Amino acid sequence: MTAAPADCPLCATQEAPAIWRDARLRVVTAGDPDYPGYLRVIWQAHVREMTDLEPAQREHFLLVVLAVERALRDTLRPEKINLASLGNQVAHLHWHVIPRFADDAHFPDPVWAARRRDATARTFDAGQFRARLTRVLGA
Ligand SMILES: [Zn+2]
């Protein structure tokens, strides 16, 4: 594990409200108005890459990422789920889990591409999602 830099925004928000959390990671909304179900799964400790984690930690991280995907599919019924782990701007391990719809602002391009249209408004019920995620995780 690398030392947490003082200016890391994901370290600074470790205790901020989350949709779901355990001792090792948290699930938060990305806060993107075009993508109300766009979530991030963030490892709590400041780690750069998946291969910096112990195998059991990696397994736990991926299990939660996939559970988030499952719960998003069950609650929003998107056309597609995009999973991404970039970290070029914030090198603190996190995954983006993005439900995509044919009428969203960028489809079929990545959400980081040039905007194609105004997104159709959608609502994301965080409470319903949390209940579904908890069931998927068996927690
Ligand atoms: Zn950090």
The residues placing their C-beta within 5 Å of ligand 1, an ion, are 4, 8, 10-11, 46, 92
Helix (H) or strand (E) holding 132: helix 126-137
The rounded Å distance from CA 120 to ligand 1 centre is 34
**pLDDT confidence of residue 84:** 97
Separation of CA 52 and ligand 1 centre (Å): 13
Query: What is the Cα Rg of the chain in Å?
Result: 15
- Write out the CATH class of domain 9-137: alpha beta
Sites in the chain below the pLDDT cut of 50 = none
Whether pTM exceeds 0.85: yes
92 and 53 Cβ atoms separated by less than 8 Å? no
pLDDT at 6: 86
Measured in Å, residue 30 CA sits from the centre of ligand 1 at 16
Name the strand (E) or helix (H) holding 66: helix 55-76
